[in-house]
């Protein structure tokens, strides 16, 4: 026998069982009356972390507030009690673990649900749903509970499963997990690393605790890794953007997360494609290039002794993309003198960077101080300048172990100082420095992390800061220059020992002078802070006209850089992620200062 061209033999036992369950559910739903008494959601949630009705079969009723059924989604939907119980200690919302997509649901549908109360990963929910009945549609949704960051002592358990919204727009402070998991962390403002605000000590530890109350995750309602919606987001989401969102509060993987039920209200990013450069007759800058190597990283060794793994671009195509982004940023900044860090430790790398700069500028605009390789490290600092605006006077000077045995070249890059003459015939000593990073690799004894917020190798950086200040303020080039500028990546936040030492010894932090305490050049683990500085002696600081931190990198995801590697095994990097722009050209922002010199 054939029905509509299909043999009855093709209907398996599984098909029959599913059909039987479906018919049973329909029958039970028909018997369930929409006006019969139910267990209120607030009673199921209870006042504790765990439901007082755990493992009990219940019938409850509520309005659908968000539906996250479907492939890679949360496998369920949320309902909320129509009549709030006005008890702030109990939630009026509930997650229904039910992924049958044949049952059409819309936000605003009032439903009755029969199932078992369970706790899954600390989430009170109803699963093993036996009956789901839509009673009526187009119910006005409950007003969202208004949240304010920081949360202080507010217990989010009270609104688990309920509609929520922020009382005022919040600020995106972390996007590290956004490409992979679709998660954004928001706060009341961009969170400054505590040691960017306070001296190491009890106040820093207290601030870390307070900051935990000033973060909340906004998720995407998906369990997928590298969701398409985030991969192709344009314009890109960045740190510092303001947003508001309406969604439901969910608890997953040990964290409370808002699952949006409506589209973000995302405010415009504040970053600009061209820097607001300070006025002044002399303009200087600092830029960490994030491992600019002309040796392609295909397995060979780099460094003067060929004893380090190469870094940077893995192919000629990546190199071309990297150098174009760097050259674009540097040319747009248009500084007269620039300190750069993380150059490959060869002469050729600086030469090739300058060649690319001049090619992009369409003229012989840039030159560099030809130091050759410096020490044995795989990277070094360098000084670029525009010979049409300033003149290099005499020979450069180096701070290395040959000059001072206490300067440890195994930890810090050799410091370079060059005297320049400005168009107004002022002599300026300009130094480029790069101190040891906070990474704990190879840290021992006093250089281990002391848990004071300064990370590993703080003692080494502090000792180097003493040496750099003493050397630099003693006119190392012998040109009797009255003006002194130190630019570099100090790998220390504003209130940490190395920066404080430099200031105490006579080198003023111009960012503090012009921007106040809230300034930054890098982001890490949900915090921003300054690692990159332009400092000046008193005489030079009096001539300073302003300082800009051009946020072209700290606020962007690293996925927008020059690399061609796929985002994951199944996800090639979207073509639009790369732009020949200054954005995501490095992992540090550029710092630019102006002087009337």
DSSP one-letter string for 357-414: HHHHHTS---EE------SSSSEEEEEEE-TTT-EEEEEEEEESTTT-TTS-TTTSPP
Please give the average per-residue pLDDT across 377-398, as a whole number: 98
Residue located via tokens 């200690």: 89
Listed residue (415, 550, 544, 540) closest to 488, CA to CA: 415
> DSSP readout, 134-156?
EEES-PPPPPPEEE-SS-TT--G
- Could you give the CA distance from residue 495 to residue 499 in angstroms, rounded to a whole number? 7
How far apart are alpha carbons 352 and 340 in whole angstroms?
14
Residues 439-487: tens digit of each pLDDT: 999 989 999 989 999 999 999 999 999 999 999 999 999 999 999 999 9
Cβ pair 61, 38 in contact under 8 A = yes
Q: Are 312 and 292 in contact (CB under 8 A)?
A: yes
User: Quick one: which H or E segment has residue 320?
Assistant: helix 316-333
What pLDDT is attached to residue 511? 97
pLDDT digits (tens, 9 = 90+) for 514-540: 999 999 999 999 999 999 999 999 999
Q: Is the model more confident about 1 or about 499?
A: 499
Task: With cut-offs at 50, 70 and 90, classify the pLDDT of residue 267.
Answer: confident
Neighbouring residues of 322: CB distance < 8 A, sequence distance ≥ 6: 292, 312, 313, 561, 562, 585
298, 314 contact by CB (below 8 A)? yes
Write out pLDDT tens, residues 159-168. 999 999 999 9
Token couple for 368: 């560099």
Residue 187 has pLDDT above 90, yes or no: yes
In this structure, the number of other CB atoms found within 10 A of the CB of residue 569 comes to 7
Q: What percent of the chain has pLDDT over 90?
A: 79
Cβ atoms of 486 and 533 closer than 8 Å: yes
Residue 357 and residue 330 in contact, taking contact as beta carbons nearer than 8 Å? yes
Q: Which residue has the higher pLDDT, 71 or 583?
A: 583
pTM of the model: 0.90
Q: Structural domains in the chain?
A: 32-136 (2.40.50.200), 148-266 (2.40.50), 282-392+482-595 (3.60.10.10)
**pLDDT digits 0-9 by tens, 62-111:** 999 999 998 889 999 999 999 888 888 889 999 999 998 888 999 999 99
DSSP secondary structure letters along 355-370: HHHHHHHTS---EE--
Mean pLDDT of the chain: 91
| Tokens 């793994």 -> residue | 309
* CA pair distance 197, 203, nearest whole angstrom: 10
Q: What is the pLDDT of residue 271?
A: 65
Identify any residues that bridge with 120 across adjacent strands, giving them in sequence order: 123
Amino acid 13: pLDDT: 46
The DSSP 8-state label assigned to residue 575 in this structure reads: G
The answer to which of 11-20, 250-259, 334-343 has the lowest mean pLDDT is 11-20
């Amino acid at each position: 026998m054939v029905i509509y061209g299909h043999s009855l033999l093709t209907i398996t036992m599984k098909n029959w069982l599913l059909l039987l369950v479906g018919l049973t559910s329909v029958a039970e739903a028909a018997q369930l009356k929409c006006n019969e008494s139910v267990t209120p959601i607030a009673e199921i949630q209870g006042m504790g972390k765990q439901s007082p009705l755990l493992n009990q079969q219940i019938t409850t009723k509520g309005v659908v507030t968000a539906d996250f059924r479907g492939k890679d989604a949360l496998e369920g939907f949320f309902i909320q009690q129509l009549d709030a119980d006005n008890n702030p200690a109990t939630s009026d919302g509930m997650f229904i673990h039910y992924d049958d997509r044949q049952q059409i649901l819309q936000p605003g549908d009032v439903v009755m649900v029969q199932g078992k109360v369970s706790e899954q990963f600390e989430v009170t929910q109803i699963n093993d749903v036996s009956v789901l009945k839509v009673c009526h549609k187009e119910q006005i949704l409950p007003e969202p509970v208004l949240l304010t960051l920081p949360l202080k002592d507010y217990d989010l358990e009270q609104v688990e499963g309920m509609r929520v919204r922020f009382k005022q727009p919040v600020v995106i402070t972390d996007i590290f997990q956004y490409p992979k998991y679709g998660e954004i962390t928001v706060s009341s403002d961009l969170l400054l690393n505590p040691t960017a605000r306070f001296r190491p000590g009890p106040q820093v530890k207290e601030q870390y605790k307070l900051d935990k109350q000033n973060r909340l995750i906004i998720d995407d309602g998906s369990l997928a890794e590298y969701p398409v919606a985030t991969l192709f987001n344009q314009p890109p989401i960045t740190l510092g953007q303001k947003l508001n969102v309406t969604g439901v509060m969910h608890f997953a993987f040990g964290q409370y997360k808002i699952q949006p039920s409506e589209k973000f209200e995302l405010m415009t990013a504040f970053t600009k494609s061209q820097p607001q450069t300070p006025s002044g007759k002399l303009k200087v800058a600092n830029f960490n290039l994030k491992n600019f190597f002309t040796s392609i990283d295909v397995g060979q060794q780099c460094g003067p002794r060929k004893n380090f793994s190469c870094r940077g671009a893995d192919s000629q195509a990546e190199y071309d993309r990297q150098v174009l982004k760097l050259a674009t940023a540097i040319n747009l900044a248009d500084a007269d003198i620039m300190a750069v860090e993380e150059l490959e430790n060869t002469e050729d790398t600086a030469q090739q960077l300058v060649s690319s700069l001049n090619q992009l500028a369409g003229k012989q605009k840039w030159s560099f101080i030809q130091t050759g390789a410096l020490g044995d490290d795989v990277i070094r600092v360098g000084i670029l300048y525009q010979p049409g605006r300033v003149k290099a006077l005499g020979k450069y000077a180096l701070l290395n172990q040959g000059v001072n045995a206490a300067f440890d070249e195994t930890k810090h890059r050799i410091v370079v100082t060059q005297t320049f003459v400005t168009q107004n015939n002022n002599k300026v000593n300009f130094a480029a420095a790069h101190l040891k990073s906070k990474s704990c690799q190879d840290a021992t004894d006093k250089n281990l992390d002391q848990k004071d917020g300064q990370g590993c190798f703080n003692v080494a950086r502090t000792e180097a800061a003493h040496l750099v200040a003493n050397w630099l303020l003693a006119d190392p080039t012998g040109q009797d220059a009255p003006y002194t500028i130190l630019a570099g990546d100090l790998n220390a936040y504003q209130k940490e020992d190395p920066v404080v030492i430099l200031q105490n010894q006579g080198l003023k932090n111009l960012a503090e002078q012009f921007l106040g305490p809230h300034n930054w050049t890098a982001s890490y683990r949900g915090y921003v802070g300054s690692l990159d500085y332009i400092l000046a002696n008193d005489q030079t600081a009096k001539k300073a006209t302003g300082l800009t931190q051009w946020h072209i990198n700290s606020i962007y995801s690293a996925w927008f850089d020059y690399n061609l590697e796929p985002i994951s095994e199944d996800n090639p990097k979207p073509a639009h992620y790369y732009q020949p722009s200054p954005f995501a050209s490095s992992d540090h922002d550029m710092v630019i200062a102006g002087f009337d010199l």
